[in-house]
Amino acid sequence: MLKASGLKKTFQEGFLKRKTQEALKGVDITIKPGKITGFLGPNGAGKSTTIKIILNFLRPESGTVEFVTGQQSPQRRQHPDIGYLQELAGLFPFLTPRETLYLVARNKGLTWEESAREIQRLAEKLALTEHLDRRLKNLSKGTVQKVALAVAILGQPDLLIFDEPFTGLDPIVMHEIRNLIMELKQAGQTIFLSSHLLPEVERLCEEVILINEGQVVCHGEIEQLKTAWQVAKLIKENPAAGEKARLILGEEFRDKGFAHLAGSLEKLLQDEMISQNLKQVPVPDLEKLFLESVMGKSTETSGPVN
């Protein structure tokens, strides 16, 4: 669906703009169609800059962003239809949800009748019917966030980008938005989701991209990365397994962390000794993968695997 290659972006800082800050240092990401891809990283890692470049709000010094739409007959497009939900809704507070959605629907080329049907459908799906004609400034944060979500998904865009969709929401609204995101995925929508709430990302996403200090440090399917982490831990703490891995991978073997083993899992798991001993290694959660990727060291404190 989307491929970004070699994205670099530098900002000028300070009173005289003499200090430079390298926000992106050659970022490569791929978003697959019909999947929910998580985009993770600590504050200042480059997530917002990457998203703004994808949305064409910023231009990189170098690198390209390429979109491909259409499952049956793929077509390269420079400006696809993107639905964007930002962390702060940014809606006009003096408008009502109905007026807001009409404005977006008409700008997308829908007729008045089509707009009315789409607004009614979204209002029922997001439990907004009773709030449609109240001013946004008088609504709760959770309700405004649901209106912003309706704005993003109106018209079934090619790509949905959700930037911190759960921030500051109560558990009920989070549950409603989570269920809607799962419905969108089941309907075949492509979603790029950035969030600091790792349990929500783990629950919703199939793949993740982890970025730190302007560089991608880890990417792949979550389950594959978890298995790679288990193998890396086994190799580190079981000398026999480590030697087996070196014999199997040869020059491909590097003690650089679990992310580098993800592409070699098939070879490693074919070995009976490694496969059997792997059952003794606990399965990590996404938080452990995140911390180890961005901190560059293991977060484990337990003893060796026997």
pLDDT in tens, 103-116: 999 999 999 999 99
Q: What is the CATH number of the domain that holds 30?
A: 3.40.50.300
For residues 226 and 260, membership in a common domain is answered with yes
- Total structural domains within the chain: 2
Cβ distance 193 to 204 under 8 Å?
Answer: yes
H/E element, 292 = helix 286-295
Contacts made by residues 117-122, CB under 8 angstroms, sequence distance 24+: 118/154, 118/155, 122/150, 122/153, 122/154
pLDDT tens digits, one per residue of 16-32: 667 788 899 999 999 99
CA atoms within 13 A on the CB side of 189: 25
Per-residue pLDDT at 302 exceeds 50: no
Per-residue confidence at 303, pLDDT binned at 50, 70, 90?
Answer: very low
pLDDT in the model for residue 214: 94
pLDDT tens digits, one per residue of 175-232: 988 999 999 999 989 999 999 999 999 999 999 999 999 999 999 999 999 999 999 9
Cβ distance 48 to 88 under 8 Å?
Answer: no
The DSSP bridge partners found for residue 76 are 68
Sort residue 260 into left (φ over 0), alpha (ψ -120 to 50) or beta.
alpha
For residues 63 and 41, membership in a common domain is answered with yes
* pTM of the complete model: 0.86
For residues 193 and 75, membership in a common domain is answered with yes
Q: Could you give the CA distance from residue 115 to residue 281 in angstroms, rounded to a whole number?
A: 54
Which domain, by its residues, includes 46?
Answer: 1-80+158-166+188-213
For residues 241 and 208, membership in a common domain is answered with no
Per-residue confidence at 267, pLDDT binned at 50, 70, 90?
Answer: confident
For residues 51 and 71, membership in a common domain is answered with yes
Does residue 303 sit within a domain? no
Number of residues in the chain: 306
